[in-house]
Amino acid sequence: MLPRHCSAGVLGLVALLCMGPGFGANPPPPPAGAQAATRAAPAQLPAFHPGWWEYRRTLQTSQRGAPQVTVIKRCVDPTSEIKQKMGQLKQKGCVFSGLTKDADRYKTSGTCQGTGVKVSIQQTLTASNADSYKDESQTRRGDFTNRSTIQARRLGECPAPAPGPGGGPK
> Domain spans of the chain?
4-17+49-156
User: What pLDDT sits at residue 157?
Assistant: 97
Reference 117, options 142, 88, 86; nearest CA is 142
pLDDT at 86: 66
First-to-final CA distance of the chain: 10
Q: Give the pTM.
A: 0.69
pLDDT band at 167 (very low <50, low <70, confident <90, very high): low
What percentage of the chain has pLDDT greater than the value 70? Answer: 70
The predicted structure's pLDDT at residue 166: 59
Distance CA 46, CA 40 (A): 16
Residues whose CB falls within 8 Å of the CB of residue 139, separated by 6 or more in sequence, listed in order: 8, 119, 120, 121, 122, 145, 146, 148
For 4-24, how does the pLDDT look when each residue is reduced to its tens digit (9 = 90+)? 333 444 444 443 333 333 323
Sequence-separated (6 or more) residues with CB below 8 Å from residue 105: 124, 125, 126
Nearest Cα neighbor of 75 from 160, 17, 165, 8 is 160
Rounded to whole angstroms, the Cα distance separating 153 from 133 reads 7
Pick the residue with more confidence: 105 or 86?
Answer: 105
Task: Considering only residues 5 and 139, tell me which one the structure prediction assigns the higher pLDDT.
Answer: 139
**pLDDT higher than 50, residue 60:** yes
CA pair distance 168, 141, nearest whole angstrom: 38
For 28-43, write each residue's pLDDT tens digit. Answer: 344 444 444 445 556 7
| 10 within 8 A of 82, measured Cβ to Cβ | yes
Q: Is the pLDDT confidence value at 155 over 80?
A: yes
Strand partners, 117: none
Give the residue-averaged pLDDT of 41-51: 81
